[in-house]
Amino acid sequence: MYNPKSIYAKLAFETIFTYVKGNSLKSIRKQKIPEELSERQACFVSIHKLNDDLRGCIGTIEPVRTCLFYEIIDNAIAASSRDTRFSPITIDEIDDIKVSVDVLSIPKKISDISELDPKKFGVIVSDKFSRKALLLPNLEGINSVDVQLNIVKRKAGIYEKNEELNIYKFSSTRFH
């Protein structure tokens, strides 16, 4: 069975495993919160098959829980069961998945796209109609700012070329 190395990914995997088995999450939620997970921070939980194909990914742009510990738990449940691109994870898949957690910095509005670097920074775009999307940094196959912006705009449903956008960058620390 998959054995994540970081406390972040261990919590996410333990949550997914417990949730998919249909067991109560009370024992996980009642654990003593490790100091590293006690701050309010946004995060994304990503689930991949062992061949690296994406199997689920959900997170928060801004923290919505009291601390990162609960943010990871809730995002792990959502990534395993509510990512609309995939069916929910089943118990039969548990041995064939791996989990990572991206902890996000506070997003900073940019004034020029020259401030972006898809290997270093994730990006958030929004428009005047409240369409909004996020793309994590350092994703395979995304090697230019143009590609990064095109993908995140499509995710947001923004197809107009000259649409005035709010663009934010953020860094992320990925834990496997």
CB 37 within 8 A of CB 99: no
Indicate if 65 and 20 belong to the same structural domain.
Answer: yes
pLDDT band at 1 (very low <50, low <70, confident <90, very high): low
Which among 119, 141, 101 has a CA at the least distance from the CA of 7?
Answer: 101
pLDDT of 3 > 70? The answer is no
Q: How many domains does the chain have?
A: 2
Statement to judge: residues 66 and 141 lie in one domain: no
Residues 73 and 144 in one domain: no
Contact between residue 166 and residue 125 where contact means Cβ atoms under 8 Å apart: yes
Task: Single out the residue in 76, 104, 132 at which a domain terminates.
Answer: 104
Which candidate, 118, 156, 102, places its Cα nearest to that of 166? 156
The full DSSP string for 105-170 is PPPEE-SSGGG--TTT-EEEEE-TT--EEEE-SS-TT--SHHHHHHHHHHHHT---TT---EEEEE
Q: What distance in Å separates the CA atoms of residue 68 and residue 156, rounded to the nearest whole number?
A: 25
In a domain, 176, yes or no: no
Please spell the DSSP secondary structure of 28-47, one letter per residue.
HHTSPPPGGG-S---EEEEE
User: Same structural domain for residues 122 and 156?
Assistant: yes
- What domain range is 58 assigned to? 7-104
Dump pLDDT digits (tens) for 31-45: 999 999 999 999 999
Q: Are residues 98 and 28 in the same domain?
A: yes
Residues 117 and 47 in one domain: no
Same-domain check for residues 126 and 55: no
Q: How far apart are CA 52 and CA 110, in angstroms?
A: 31
pLDDT tens digit string along 12-25? 999 999 999 999 99
Residue 98 lies in a domain: yes
For residue 98, give the 3-state DSSP assignment: strand
Mean pLDDT of 143-150: 96
85, amino acid identity:
R
Q: Are residues 72 and 117 in the same domain?
A: no
Q: Are residues 47 and 115 in the same domain?
A: no
Q: Output the domain CATH number for residue 126.
A: 3.30.1490.150
- Tell me the pLDDT band of 172, cut-offs 50, 70 and 90: very high
